[in-house]
């Protein structure tokens, strides 16, 4: 098994005719993802990588039965793209777009809370179930099937950790990049719950970073509800207070969001915390021994 995406995923690409959308659509198709449709207003009737292009999500869903969407549209259009997919009951929406204003995302997430819809992102690399389905921009060449679930706020560190595990022959069940914006869709807790319920996932890797309190809340959830062993890494140990580091949400402000507080929260509930990303593979091997 896996979480969120698998061989049954029928993917719709919003923004498929743009440079990024077309490039990554071809990468996803090459990996084996079933891309059934694309949407670009005014470009209906075209075809990209074998997928028909429609003018609206409504047409695409009606014609193809798409059950997931990935969004590659500019930031000013992305909130409406998310809402369009949600309005037509696409159960999984993955938004790669970065730079969406937090106020816009507050409105989007408020609407999604009333729907049975999962949003991954925005400003994220997407997710991949090795050997089955890739939705987004995680390189398919670095993954292999296995028992370790990965959830991460950081895109680049996700790739680095996956590769470190793969080099040791440790495969992954599903790798989920939730993004690091201050207002986003799925959080650590929701993905941890999915991994806890997934029989294929035996261990979990959580990659956090400075800013906010998502990691502290995840630590509380792990103590109460997660029986599987979790290994963590927190990026930004040396970040100065008040300076944004990478993601919009990666900022220490008002005495909250420090790496040392997040590390202490994990260690207090028995989660081993790596000092650098490559050490995650060492800790997973120790757990599996």
Residue-level pLDDT at 267: 97
Residues annotated as part of the active site = 247
Find, among 69, 67, 29, 75, the residue nearest to 48 by Cα.
29
Q: In whole angstroms, give the CA distance from residue 233 to residue 210.
A: 11
Residue-level pLDDT at 56: 98
Residue-level pLDDT at 250: 47
Q: In whole angstroms, give the CA distance from residue 32 to residue 34.
A: 6
Least confident of 54-68, 227-241, 260-274: 227-241
pLDDT higher than threshold 70 for residue 12: yes
pLDDT in tens, 142-172: 999 999 999 999 888 999 999 999 999 999 9
Q: In whole angstroms, give the CA distance from residue 12 to residue 14.
A: 6
Residue-level pLDDT at 249: 46
Least confident of 57-66, 110-119, 120-129, 241-250: 241-250
pLDDT-derived band at 254, boundaries 50, 70, 90: very low
Domains of the chain (ranges; CATH) run 11-120 (3.40.50.720), 138-288 (3.40.50.261)
Q: Which sign does the torsion angle of CA 227, 228, 229, 232 carry?
A: negative
Q: In whole angstroms, give the CA distance from residue 228 to residue 238.
A: 30
């Amino acid at each position: 098994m896996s979480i969120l995406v698998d061989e049954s995923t029928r993917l719709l690409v919003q923004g498929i005719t743009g440079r990024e959308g077309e490039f990554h659509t071809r990468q996803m198709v090459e990996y084996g993802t079933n891309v059934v449709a694309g949407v670009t207003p005014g470009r209906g009737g075209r075809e990209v990588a074998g997928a028909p292009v429609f003018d609206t999500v409504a047409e695409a869903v009606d014609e193809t039965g798409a059950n997931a969407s990935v969004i590659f549209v500019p930031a000013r259009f992305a909130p409406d793209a998310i809402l369009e997919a949600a309005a037509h009951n696409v159960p999984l929406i993955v938004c790669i777009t970065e730079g969406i204003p937090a106020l816009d995302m507050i409105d989007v997430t408020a609407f999604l809370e009333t729907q049975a819809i999962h949003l991954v992102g925005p400003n994220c690399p997407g997710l991949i179930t090795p050997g089955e389905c890739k939705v987004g921009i995680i390189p398919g060449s670095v993954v292999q099937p296995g028992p370790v679930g990965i959830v991460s706020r950081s895109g680049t560190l996700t790739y680095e950790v996956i590769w470190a595990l793969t080099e040791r022959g440790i495969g992954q069940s599903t790798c989920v990049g939730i993004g690091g914006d201050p207002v986003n869709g799925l959080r650590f807790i929701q993905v941890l719950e999915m991994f806890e319920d997934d029989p294929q996932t035996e261990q979990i890797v959580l990659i956090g970073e400075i800013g906010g309190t998502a990691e502290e809340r995840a630590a509380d959830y792990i103590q109460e509800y997660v029986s599987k062993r979790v290994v963590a890494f927190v990026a930004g140990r040396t970040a100065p207070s008040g300076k944004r580091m990478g993601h919009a949400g990666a900022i220490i402000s008002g005495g909250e969001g420090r790496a040392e507080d997040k590390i202490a929260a994990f260690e207090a509930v028995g989660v081993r915390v790596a000092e650098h990303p490559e050490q995650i593979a060492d800790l997973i091997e120790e757990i599996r021994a």
